[in-house]
Homo-oligomer: A and B are copies of this chain.
């Protein structure tokens, strides 16, 4: 693996660059599918299910019976783990509830915010070789806690028309109201525009491949909210000489197994640690079933050694990692200096996998440096803050002249008049 020593600041932009998501080149093709779904509804959706999911479906919705069958086939060990994760995610996201305060900005002029759940949300959970029941929990639980009335979930079924039991079990315990066996562009299109079967939603959440991301981007252009753009997953480990090289290597590899395009980087002030971590990665990776994938992904990975922690922190803020593990002696102080990251894991006993599954934090996080402008999914993502104001007759007398003068200077006479006509009475 590449070790880079004290790179010049002028190189940082280049060194922290991720491959650009070239979803724009997909917009033509994805846009055509979306507009077919918009105009033809279920007919178009079923056509693309057959084409891309390789299955002919009579019924897009998961039935009550399928949910029951799923519940019966999940092991009690896994059920217990899912319920424990649910408990922690619920505790942490419930603590994010917002209570607006009333502020009297001028005597008789009172303003406040009220947090109101988005009525209809759409949650996308990718399919693939393994069930992503953790993503089900991370999206549906906050939606439920926020109070969203319609929680629509889409995830692709297999060639037999079945969704993985653990996915359905998680959806059931998390409070999903409608579950459809839809993947990819057809899922996003159906939730954005609505069809005879699938209700339209106001905001769409969840990870996905480049087609899903392109579809989310395109529907967002016509006013459907989306959580964030999503690129390949990534971790940075920021470590000093107190870090355990075996632990660091295990975190490095747990990111690397996500996919060939995943990125793990180590930023450290200790050259010896860097060398030990590289050795430990070589040893540990031999034992992994996904070794081939991991080796591909390690080609995107680098180790950066800095002479001092301040530079290492500045570099981290430029990289803006999705996940940041801090394993230094003063990890609390270092953590406080981070300005750009999705989720931060503090100390030697806090692996990223804890947050991926069960610590309570959300694992839907900004990749690709987007943490500079975005945060991960949280309770707020499922709410809007509506502002209220109430002005008394007295309050309008106090504030009226200010409004009138400003309106007049912006040449908005009717705005002024709406105040003047009330003040005259």
Residues of chain A at the chain B interface (Cβ within 8 Å)? 20-21, 23-24, 77-78, 80-82, 84-85, 87-88, 91-92, 95-96, 101, 103, 105-106, 109, 111, 113, 116, 118-120, 129-134, 166, 202-203, 217, 220-225, 229, 246-247, 250-251, 253-254, 256-258, 284, 287-290, 294, 331-332, 335, 338-362, 368-376, 378, 380, 383-393, 395-396, 399, 401-403, 405-407, 409-419, 421-422
A-B contact pairs, 23 of them (CB 8 A): A21-B222, A77-B405, A78-B406, A91-B103, A109-B360, A119-B339, A130-B409, A130-B410, A134-B410, A250-B414, A253-B418, A254-B415, A256-B414, A284-B414, A332-B390, A344-B389, A346-B389, A351-B422, A353-B416, A354-B419, A361-B388, A374-B384, A375-B383
Complex Cα spacing A387 to B91, Å: 14
> Contact check: which of B134, B225, B338 meets A374 at CB < 8 Å?
B225
Nearest first, the 8 closest Cβ-Cβ pairs linking A and B are A225-B373, A202-B373, A375-B384, A105-B360, A130-B411, A88-B105, A351-B418, A81-B405
Contacts of A388 in B (CB 8 A): 335, 343-344, 346, 361
Complex Cα spacing A355 to B386, Å: 13
Contacts of A221 in B (CB 8 A): 23-24, 217, 229
Complex Cα spacing A289 to B413, Å: 7
Contacts of A78 in B (CB 8 A): 405-406, 409
Q: How many copies does the complex hold?
A: 2
Q: How far is the CB of A168 from chain B (nearest CB, A)?
A: 14
> Contact check: which of B290, B380, B390 meets A385 at CB < 8 Å?
B380
Complex Cα spacing A402 to B84, Å: 7
> Contact check: which of B96, B119, B352 meets A372 at CB < 8 Å?
B119
Complex Cα spacing A6 to B103, Å: 38
Complex Cα spacing A362 to B402, Å: 16
Contacts of A386 in B (CB 8 A): 338, 341-344, 371, 375
> Given A340-B119, A375-B384: A409 and B133 within 8 A (CB)?
yes
